[in-house]
């Protein structure tokens, strides 16, 4: 009787591991490929793109396409670059995210801790808002914006995104606060804290993870939105997604691929940064409440 | 400090009646314990006193003041919750001072009050920690500190010790009792632990299914239960409730109880009008384990010790005592013998019944026959 060699077991384990890693590395490269194409081509001259290989690294790095995309290239009828539209997007995203997140937190607080008859029905209806496709609300929303005198303005876009995001933010906060001990709210009430004092002093300081999740979610959605931007903005309130589209479509004559690539990266940059900076909180926040601790 | 009166209080959630007409009164400086099994409505009653639940009808008065419609913070109460409910984002200091901060008390005065409370509860070195850095017992202290600092008319405790381990629970029980003696504040305390109820209370209210079963001093509740529920619920091991027949014996009334096999024992019963009405009918004979002992262990000060031979099936040594199980009236009954009493298992041994401690119940209404 021979004892099975342990070396064999370890070696087959190593082989398996090597295989798994090879596969993983392959997929990592595969997923990074588009980013590579964008970055490398945005650093090439137009001649080099026309003459060469899409996947090849730039022979001589040039930042001209980036400068052009940012400040000089033709967007629509004006040669302003993406800069003013980037600013439009910031002016739209920041208030929309803050307002919808704040209202979502307040909704979650009321729905769980100041529950009233029909609270679940109200929550159900708000949840339904998450499933309404963008296209359905376009025409009624245009009418409402017109009535409010907000058509084609940045405040109008802020309102549209706030209303549309409310369903999601309420869902996030309601579920988070449902697990928040009610005894804490009662203790604060006995201590004499008012409705808003309980909210600001007790709930909000304990809501870090869900705030991060909601802000990332809202930021990404609002920044990346194209349909509302294309439908409800005028030339001085166009967000960057729409401007990027105009940039790509409005080039006359030669298509400046390097500028398009640079512009696309510029448009995607903020969401990338937000995700990289707070991504780990995002995962942690999504898991929060699943287990204690 | 103030007395607390509860008058015909009812509470329903939708169609479910949780409290069905509760009348209670605790004097200034008293310690009222609400005790009962899970779901009897005791925590709801406490929340009604606190104002966290709206009452359906009746009245709650703190001192001479009807607190109907008054916000919890205006009732001059403080509450300690089962889960402690410490604000997780604040330090111990912040937790204790939060209420004062809301009421707009200036900083110097707050600091003084915190120091004072920290001194009483010996939590001075914990003041700058967060609740998550505290042990269970420390959290309990902080929760009590947060209540103490308000100097309320009435303290409300909602099962404050049920999250602690057995040893700590006994320590904290003593501490609460000491605190009560020192501060002399009226306390209402909810628990499902009948030992806690008996050791802490000046008055106990036993609740079951939304009804007040009995309200009295610990001694009354223990020795003079109003019905079979109270008799069974209070005390550990619980009272033996033995089925028997009430009969006319040679020396007055007696209760006949079936023992092991075909044997039967007869014990004298008090000759009262109410008992005479039950003559020839079944009764429930209630006796606490400590009133059923080996003859040498019987209470010599009792004028009425009756010794009968009973069949001993099982013995359970418990250190200080030995519990002997004997079948009486078709049930296992527990007798409490001295630890070193000689017990012959599987045979008849004499057991002394202290009849001054015996009580009788009507098996149909479960009420006491006096």
**Cα–Cα distance measured from residue B255 to residue B271, given in angstroms and rounded to the nearest whole number:** 11
For residue B52, give the nearest of A186, A192, A193 by CB distance: A186
> Where residue A9 falls among pLDDT bands split at 50, 70, 90?
low
- In percent, the amount of chain B with pLDDT more than 90 equals 31
CB-CB neighbours of A33 under 10 Å: 11
Residues of A in contact with B94 (CB under 8 A): none
Of A184, A192, A201, the CB nearest to B73: A192
Sign of CA dihedral B326, B327, B328, B331: positive
- Disruptive mutation site among B98, B113, B130, B188 for chain A (greatest number of A CBs within 10 Å): B98
The average pLDDT across B344-353 equals 88
Burial of A51 (0-12, 13-18, 19+ CB in 10 A): exposed
**pLDDT digit string, tens, across residues B248-267:** 888 888 889 988 888 888 88
Q: Do B87 and A190 touch (CB under 8 A)?
A: no
**Confidence band, pLDDT 50/70/90 cuts, at residue A75:** confident
Q: What is the mean pLDDT of chain B?
A: 89
As a whole number of Å, the CA-based R_g of chain A is 25
Q: Beta strands B347-354 and B359-361: pairing type?
A: unpaired
Give domain limits for chain B: 4-233, 240-369
- All residues of chain B having their beta carbon less than 8 Å from the beta carbon of residue A201 are 87, 98
* CATH entry 3.90.550.10 includes domain B4-233: no
Which residue reads 């401690």 in tokens? B357
Under the banding of pLDDT at 50, 70 and 90, the label for residue A252 is low
Query: What span, in angstroms and rounded, lies between the C-alpha atoms of B264 and B254?
Result: 12
Closest chain A CA to residue B49: A190
Residues of A in contact with B46 (CB under 8 A): none
Q: Which residues of chain B does A191 touch, with a Cβ-Cβ cutoff of 8 Å? A: 73, 98-99, 102, 146
Quick: pLDDT tens for B198-240. Answer: 999 999 999 998 899 999 999 999 999 999 999 999 988 889 9
Residue A274 has pLDDT above 90, yes or no: no
Per-residue pLDDT, averaged over A138-143, amounts to 90
Name the pLDDT band for A285 (thresholds 50, 70, 90). low
From chain A, pick out residues whose CB is under 8 angstroms from the CB of B73. 189-193
Q: How many alpha carbons fall within 13 Å on the CB side of residue A263?
A: 29
Choose the mutation target among B102, B156, B163, B190 for the interface with A, i.e. most A CBs under 10 Å.
B102
Q: Rounded mean pLDDT of B337-346?
A: 85
Nearest-Cα residue of chain A relative to residue B80: A187
Among candidate residues B158, B299, B276, B215, the one with its CA nearest the CA of residue B30: B215
Q: Which of A75-79, A93-97, B51-55 has the lowest mean pLDDT?
A: A75-79
Task: Look at residue A290 in the predicted model and tell me its pLDDT.
Answer: 46
CB atoms within 10 A of CB A196: 10
Is any Cβ of chain B less than 8 angstroms from the Cβ of A183? yes
Residues from chain A contacting residue B80 (CB–CB below 8 Å): none
Cα→Cα distances B326→A58, A155, B266, B277, B316, Å: 97, 84, 15, 30, 12
| CA-based nearest residue to B28, from B46, B4, B45 | B4
The percentage of chain A sitting over the pLDDT mark of 70, rounded to a whole number, equals: 91
Q: Which residues of B touch A177 (CB under 8 A)?
A: none
The secondary structure of B47-58 as a DSSP string is HHHHTSS--SEE
Decide if A187 and B78 are in contact by the 8 Å CB cutoff.
no
Q: Which residues of A touch B81 (CB under 8 A)?
A: 183, 186-187
In the predicted structure, residue B81 carries a pLDDT above the cut 70: yes
pLDDT tops 90 at residue B241: yes
Q: Cβ of A255 under 8 Å from any chain B Cβ? A: no
In the prediction, which pLDDT does A99 show? 96
Q: In what order do the strands lie in the sheet with B77-80?
A: B77-80, B154-158, B186-191, B31-35, B203-208, B211-216
Q: Note whether A181 contacts B: Cβ–Cβ < 8 A.
A: yes
Rounded to whole angstroms, the Cα distance separating B366 from B350 reads 30
Give the pTM. 0.78
CA distance A191 to chain B (A): 4
Measured between beta carbons, the chain A residues lying within 8 angstroms of B98 are 188, 191, 193, 201
Percent of chain B residues past pLDDT 70, beyond the cut: 100
- Residues of B within an 8 Å Cβ radius of A: 50, 52, 71-73, 77-79, 81-83, 85, 87-89, 98-99, 102-103, 146
Q: What is the CA radius of gyration of chain B?
A: 25
Q: For chain A, give the mean pLDDT.
A: 85
pLDDT at A292: 41
Exposed, middle or buried by CB within 10 Å (0-12, 13-18, 19+), for A38? Answer: middle
**Is the model's pLDDT at A108 over the cut of 90?**
yes
Quick one: pLDDT band at residue A199, thresholds 50, 70, 90?
Answer: very high
Inter-chain residue contact B52 with A189, CB threshold 8 Å: yes
Please count the residue pairs, one from chain A and one from chain B, whose beta carbons lie less than 8 angstroms apart: 54
CB-nearest partner of A181 from B71, B85, B98: B85
CATH of the domain spanning B240-369: 2.40.50.140
Interface predicted TM-score (ipTM) of this complex, two decimals: 0.77
């Amino acid at each position: 009787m021979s004892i099975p060699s342990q070396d064999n077991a370890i070696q087959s384990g190593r082989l398996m591991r090597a295989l798994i890693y090879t596969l993983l590395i392959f997929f990592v490269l595969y997923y990074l490929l588009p980013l590579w194409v964008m970055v490398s081509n945005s650093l090439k001259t137009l001649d080099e793109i026309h003459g060469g290989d899409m996947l090849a690294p730039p022979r001589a790095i040039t930042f001209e396409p980036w400068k052009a995309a940012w400040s000089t290239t033709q967007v629509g009828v004006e040669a302003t670059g993406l800069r003013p539209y980037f600013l439009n997007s910031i002016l739209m995203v920041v208030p929309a995210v803050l307002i919808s997140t704040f209202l979502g937190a307040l909704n979650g607080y009321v729905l769980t801790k100041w529950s009233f008859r029909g609270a679940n029905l109200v929550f159900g209806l708000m949840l339904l808002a998450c499933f309404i496709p963008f296209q359905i609300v376009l025409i009624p929303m245009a009418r409402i914006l017109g009535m409010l005198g907000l058509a084609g303005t940045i405040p109008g876009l802020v309102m549209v995104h706030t209303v549309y995001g409310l369903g999601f933010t309420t869902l996030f906060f309601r579920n988070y606060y449902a697990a928040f001990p009610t005894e804490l709210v009662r203790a604060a009430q006995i201590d004499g804290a008012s409705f808003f004092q309980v909210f600001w002093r007790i709930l909000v300081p304990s809501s870090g993870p869900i705030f991060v999740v909601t802000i990332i979610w809202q930021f990404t959605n609002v920044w990346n939105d194209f349909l509302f931007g294309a439908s409800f903005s005028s030339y001085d309130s166009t967000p960057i997604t729409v401007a990027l589209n105009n940039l790509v479509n409005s080039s006359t004559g030669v298509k400046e691929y390097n500028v398009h690539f640079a512009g696309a990266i510029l448009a995607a940059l903020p969401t990338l940064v937000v995700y990289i900076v707070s991504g780990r909180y995002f995962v942690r926040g999504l898991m929060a409440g699943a287990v204690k601790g | 400090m103030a007395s607390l009166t509860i008058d015909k209080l009812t509470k329903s959630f939708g169609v479910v009646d949780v409290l069905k007409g509760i009348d209670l009164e605790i004097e200034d400086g008293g310690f009222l314990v609400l005790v009962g099994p899970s779901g009897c409505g005791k925590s709801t009653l406490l929340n009604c006193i606190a104002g966290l639940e709206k009452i359906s009808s009746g009245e709650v008065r703190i001192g001479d003041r009807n607190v109907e419609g008054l916000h919890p913070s205006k009732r001059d109460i403080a509450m300690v919750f089962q889960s402690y409910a410490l604000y997780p984002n604040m330090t111990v200091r912040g937790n204790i001072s939060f209420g004062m901060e809301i009421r707009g008390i200036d900083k110097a005065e707050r600091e003084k009050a915190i120091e004072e409370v920290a001194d009483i509860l010996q939590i001075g070195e914990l003041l700058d920690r967060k609740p998550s850095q505290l042990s269970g017992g420390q959290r309990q202290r902080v929760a009590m500190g947060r209540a103490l600092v308000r100097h309320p008319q009435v303290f409300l405790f909602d099962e404050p010790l049920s999250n602690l381990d057995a040893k700590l629970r006994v320590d904290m029980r003593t501490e609460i009792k000491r605190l009560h003696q020192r501060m002399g504040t009226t306390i209402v305390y909810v628990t499902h632990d009948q030992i806690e109820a008996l050791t802490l209370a000046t008055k106990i209210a036993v609740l079951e299914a939304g009804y007040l079963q009995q309200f009295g001093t610990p001694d009354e509740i223990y020795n003079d239960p109003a019905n079979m529920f109270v008799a069974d619920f209070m005390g550990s091991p619980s009272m033996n409730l033995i089925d028997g027949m009430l009969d006319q014996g040679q020396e007055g009334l007696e209760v006949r109880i079936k023992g092991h096999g075909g044997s039967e024992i007869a014990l004298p019963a008090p000759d009262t009008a109410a008992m005479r009405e039950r003559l020839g009918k079944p009764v429930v004979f209630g006796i606490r384990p400590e009133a059923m002992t080996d003859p040498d262990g019987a209470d010599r000060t009792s004028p009425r010790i009756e010794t009968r031979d009973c069949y001993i099936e099982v013995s359970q040594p418990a250190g200080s005592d030995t519990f002997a199980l004997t079948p009486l009236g078709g049930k296992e009954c527990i007798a409490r013998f001295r630890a070193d009493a000689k017990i012959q298992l599987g045979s008849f041994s004499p057991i002394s019944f202290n009849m001054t401690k015996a009580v009788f119940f009507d098996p149909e209404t479960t009420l006491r026959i006096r």
